Amino acid sequence: MSNDNQIKDLEAVTDDERRVAEMLGSLKRVEAPSDFDVRVRARIAQGRPASSNGKWLPQWARYAVPLALAIAVGGYFAIDRYSRTADSKPAEIVRNETVQTASPPVTAANTAAQPVADNNAANPVIAANRETASAPKPAVPRPNSDTDTSGGGSFVEAVRPGKRLLPKGIDPNAPQPGRPRDFDADAKIPVAEVLTVIGVKANFKGSNWTVESVVDHSAAGDAGIKPGDVIETINDQKLSEKTAFNGKFIGRSIRVMRGGKPVLIDLVKK
C-alpha cells in the first residue's frame, strides 16, 4: 500500500492513465461511523449472519416457489401427453372408416392398375413398398405411370389416408348439427309475382291469366312466350287467380293456349 510503489507502477502507464489514477487517489476518503464497533458487536451477539441468497423471499417461499414451479412444469407435460394420446384415438377411427369407404371403387380401379404393379414385381424395393402399403389396406390402386401426370412424390404416402389433424376439442365423430331451415321455406309466392319475375305482365281475365306483354331478354321472352298467350299451367300446376307457390320457385315449364292450341314452353335454357 505504499505510495512509492504506486508511483513506480504509474511510470509504466500512459499519461492519461496516470492522471486518472491521480484523480481517483485525490478523492476524499470516508470513514466508518463512531458506533461502528458497537454495531458489529451487536450483530455478532445476534448470531450467525443469514445467507443473503433469497433474503427477499419469506422462509416458506424459498421452498414453495421452486416446488410449485416443478409441479407446474411436470403437470403441463403430463396433461399435454395425455391430451395427445386422447386426440390420436378418434383420428385412428376416422382413418379406418376412410379406408373402408374407399375400398369398393379402389378394388375396381386396382384391376386395371394391376398389370402395371406386376411389372414392378421384379424390383425388390418397389415390391416391398407395395407390400408395405397394401398389407393393412390391400385394395390400394397404383397409378399408371404412363397416364399419370400429377407429378412426383411418394405414391405410398400419397394414397395412404393420413391422420387427420384437428384442433384440440374438435371431435370428428361428434353429431353434426342439422341444417338451419330456409327462412322462406313456408313462404307463399303468388302467381302474379312469379310471372313478374320471369318477365311476363299478365291479367287474370275470366278464369285464366292472359299475357299482355313480355319483357325482352327475360326468361319468358327468351323462352318464346308472346302477348295474347293464355297461361294454363306453370310447372304443371293449374293456375287460378290466387294460386301461390310454396317456398322457392324454380320455373321449369309453362303451358299456354296460343291460337286455341296448347303449347308447352320450357323455361330451362338448354
Interacting residues with other proteins (CB under 8 A): 1-6, 9, 13, 16-17, 19-21, 23-25, 27-33, 36-37, 39-41, 43-44, 48-49, 52, 55-56, 58
Residue 39 CB coordination number (10 Å): 11
Least gap, CB of 67 to other proteins (angstroms): 17
Least gap, CB of 99 to other proteins (angstroms): 54
Closest to other proteins by CB, 56 vs 77, is 56
Closest to other proteins by CB, 68 vs 121, is 68
Whole-number Å distance between alpha carbons of 67 and 73 = 10
For cell 386426440, the residue is 87
Least gap, CB of 15 to other proteins (angstroms): 10
Q: Which residues of 82-95 are buried (b: 16+ CB within 10 A; e: fewer)?
A: eeeeebeebeeebb
Least gap, CB of 49 to other proteins (angstroms): 5
Closest CA to 155 of 172, 136, 137, 142: 142
Closest to other proteins by CB, 16 vs 146, is 16
Whole-number Å distance between alpha carbons of 235 and 250 = 9
Whole-number Å distance between alpha carbons of 176 and 56 = 57
DSSP 34-75: TTHHHHHHHHHHH-SPPPSTTTTS-HHHHHHHHHHHHHHHHH
Least gap, CB of 68 to other proteins (angstroms): 14
Whole-number Å distance between alpha carbons of 125 and 119 = 13
Whole-number Å distance between alpha carbons of 49 and 45 = 10
Closest to other proteins by CB, 13 vs 128, is 13
Least gap, CB of 13 to other proteins (angstroms): 7
Closest to other proteins by CB, 25 vs 74, is 25
Residue 160 contacts residue 132 (beta carbons within 8 Å): no
Closest to other proteins by CB, 51 vs 176, is 51
Whole-number Å distance between alpha carbons of 147 and 270 = 34
Least gap, CB of 63 to other proteins (angstroms): 16
Closest to other proteins by CB, 31 vs 186, is 31
